[in-house]
A and B are shown apart, each in its own frame.
Chain A
């Protein structure tokens, strides 16, 4: 059984936000519009966080841009607090949400230290004519439920089916650029794969001395690794 994870190389990343846009389009993430955005209700399953507090003092400030999908923690606080099992860790290590079961209590949002889960304050709305661009492989989420990054599980399922049709196992090359954010990355800064396979790209990169995880000290064991940038 694979354990899916991601590695993002901050040295390669140009903070161009192509990943954010690709995710928005791939996952039918609704547009909040200017009014809702002003109320802090914009929705981006993937975002690029500007950590401007950074290190050092101006003008030698070392600011940092961190692309953030869901961390798909091994010890997910959101799963622990869900009263109805609507959010859960699946067999392959992906934290998922059952939109049909979620009661909208938003406890998972308050429990997530990474602030990467989103609530549907209103029924999702799309601009007129947008329907032809909608991705038929990703379900729309109703009003009043929580949603977030799925590691593009629909693409993963499809890749598995294709491999099975060809009578072979899923390989590292099949999945390394599989999620929409990875595929769109112009700098090749992102990798996806099985962390339990010692030969996989993500496993090799995750054991690099540059590798770190967000908030490693709070015990959530995220499966998204970052490779620290070269500061020179």
Chain B
């Protein structure tokens, strides 16, 4: 199958690759760029483990071809920590025990970061609705909600 050259700015670094048009963005991120923090949990866009930011918006990278991201900026979980300082969402998940096996966690955190960018002070119902496209089998979501509330407060205080 013919290959196509793509350019993606991923976590601030310019990357290029020759990929088949059918290559999913999540496989490009994991297998081509070697960033394995983004996970795959289903085949039907339900679980959200593969959530990344495409030009700042959260998307499920299992449902986009890599060629569709050509010329875009992608942020993955590996791009959250800046200059050795954890993002408040990362801090919140650690502090409030918002993860157990850790498999859904990167996608869950990427969705959370996008939520707080849009709504700095979300209600609990708004948080629950926002993460309803991310499945977690371990935590029962209560501590995830608390983690996001922790991060929201931190961000509002200008952390």
Q: Do A and B bind each other?
A: no
Binding site for A on B (CB under 8 A): none
Binding site for B on A (CB under 8 A): none
